[in-house]
Amino acid sequence: MSRDPLEGLLGHTGRDPGCEAAFEQFDRYCDAALRGEDVERGFPEFMNHVRNCAACREDAEGLLAALRGIMEE
């Protein structure tokens, strides 16, 4: 939930490509995040979507956690 309750309810403005387009970017986003790149700058629409979509946000966190576990092997 956003710190601003209204933003949490109504989402952030700005372009939001939706779940299906976000799915296509999930892997590139995760690789960039794991390399420590500036994902806010590199994936602005994807980041806007995961701020607005609780399911995709949870999935992004899960994929990053799983990949970190694999890398630590």
Partner 1 sequence: MGLKEGDRDSTDWLRGLNAEGPTREAAVTRLRALLLRVARSEAARRSASLPERGREEVDDLCHQAASDAAMAILRKLPEFRGDSRFTTWACKFALFEISTRLRRHAWRHRQIDTDEQVWERLADSTSPVLTRLEHTETLHSLERAIRDDLTDRQRLIFQAAVLDEVPIDVLAERLDSTRGAIYKILHDARASLRQAIARSEGKEERI
The residue ranges that bind partner 1 (CB under 8 A) are 1, 5-6, 8-11, 13, 16, 18-20, 23, 26-28, 30-31, 52-55, 58-59, 62-63, 65-67, 69-70
Q: Cα 73 from chain centroid?
A: 25
Residues 6+ apart with CB under 8 A from 25: 17, 43, 46
Q: Nearest to residue 12, comparing CAs of 41, 51, 42?
A: 51
Q: Which is closer to partner 1, CB of 44 or CB of 54?
A: 54
Q: How far is the CB of 40 from partner 1 (least distance, A)?
A: 18
The minimum distance between CB 56 and partner 1, in angstroms, equals 8
